[in-house]
Amino acid sequence: MRFVDEVKIHVRAGDGGSGCVSFRREKYVPKGGPDGGDGGKGGDVVIKATSVKQTLLDFHFQRQFKAARGAHGRGKQQTGRNGEAFIIEVPVGTEVRDGDTGELLGDLTQEHDFVVVAKGGQGGKGNMHFATSTRRAPRIAQPGKAGEERNIKLELKLLADVGLIGLPNAGKSTLISRISAARPKIADYPFTTLTPNLGVVPLDHGESMVVADIPGLIEGAHRGAGLGIKFLRHIERTLILIHLVDVSTCGQGVQTVLANYHKVNDELGHFSSELLGKPQIVALNKIDLLLEREPLEELREAFHRLGVPVHAISAVTGEGTQGLIWDAAEQLVRLREGAREKVSATGQHTETTEDQS
């Protein structure tokens, strides 16, 4: 299945039905008066999140969506039926934006989250509303109002706890296949990974964490080199980044390894300062290819001076990967608890402010 994470669509809500011009006609009821009913409301266009979909591919084949219009009013004060809402289903994690202004309309991060992107037009009033003491037989009624119409931009951002970053062939796909049931394509050439992959890593007590593997970054990716940096949106929601560094290049010198680490971080900064500020754990990968492991100590010291936790691992053999998972899991627990405390404190502050007012 082709992975599509950004599309533009056009939506139009249903028009309201027109009001009716009608007069009561019944036996033994002379001069029955106006009884034209109102038109029905047009249907809304609703975008709703579902876990059934994993990509926005469907919207490459259909980009125009229109809700049903409201039915016209009828005699005997009968109101027309409201138009049925048109529900567009998208994957969980989709951001919905106005296609022209870029305004965020909704961030659908939970199953069944929804946002109304176009409201249906109101139905027109029938002639029964226009009768007065001086105008007892009005032959006028309102037309229904037009439904809203707009361009919409959909952006899918995967929901993961941990994001894997690094240069191409740093071993990200191998690592996610080692620690989870994900089976991405793995090969010994750059840019084997062309689309993001998700893996669920089992932890203790039945808990788990979701890891996202994205295509590799190279120097100049923000200018379009390689696959660019558009895939970085898929790790914007993560709490932690695991930065894989290929230590098989230690033969070229420790500084080469450190330079590769800084190249990837530079590209993160070009995409988002917030993304660059996320906690990182460095994984010195491919230690199974080292003939001598003395350079690892020098690299450990260098990253410790940068204040970054570091683990030496082999994604192929599994050496050191368990310690890496435990470290990431512990950081996740702390960050989640901190986020809950922050939300709780904000709620208490708001409640106190309302009490004082």
52-69 pLDDT tens trace: 988 898 898 899 999 999
pLDDT-based confidence at residue 344 (cuts at 50, 70, 90) = low
pLDDT at residue 124, rounded to an integer: 96
Structure tokens at 57: 């591919």
User: Which of 134, 101, 139 has its CA nearest to residue 117?
Assistant: 101
Confidence of residue 279 (pLDDT cuts 50, 70, 90): very high
For residue 353, pLDDT over 60 is answered with no
Q: Which of 212, 215, 221 is nearest to 240 (CA)?
A: 212
Tell me: pLDDT of 26 over 90. no
Q: What is the pLDDT of residues 131-153, one digit of tens each?
A: 998 888 899 999 999 999 999 99
> pLDDT: is 228 or 116 the higher one?
116
Return the pLDDT at 356. Answer: 53
Question: 236, 159 in Cβ contact below 8 A?
Answer: no
- Kindly write down the DSSP assignment for every residue of 17-33, as one continuous string: PPP---B--BTTBTT--
* Region 98-108 average pLDDT: 95
End-to-end CA distance of the chain: 55
From 124, 20, 24, 148, select the one nearest 74 (Cα to Cα): 20
* Residue 354 reports pLDDT greater than 60: no
Confidence of residue 346 (pLDDT cuts 50, 70, 90): low
List, in order of start, the domains of the chain with CATH numbers: 6-156 (2.70.210.12), 162-342 (3.40.50.300)
Nearby residues of 80 by Cβ (< 8 Å), 6 or more positions away: 17, 37, 38, 39, 40, 70, 71, 72, 73, 74, 123
pTM of the predicted protein model: 0.78
> Which comes out higher in pLDDT, residue 261 or 344?
261
Share of the chain above pLDDT 90, in %: 57
Write the pLDDT tens digit of every residue in 226-261. 778 888 888 898 999 999 999 887 767 788 889 999
**Is pLDDT at 42 greater than 90 in this prediction?**
yes
pLDDT digits (tens, 9 = 90+) for 296-326: 888 999 999 999 999 999 999 999 999 999 9
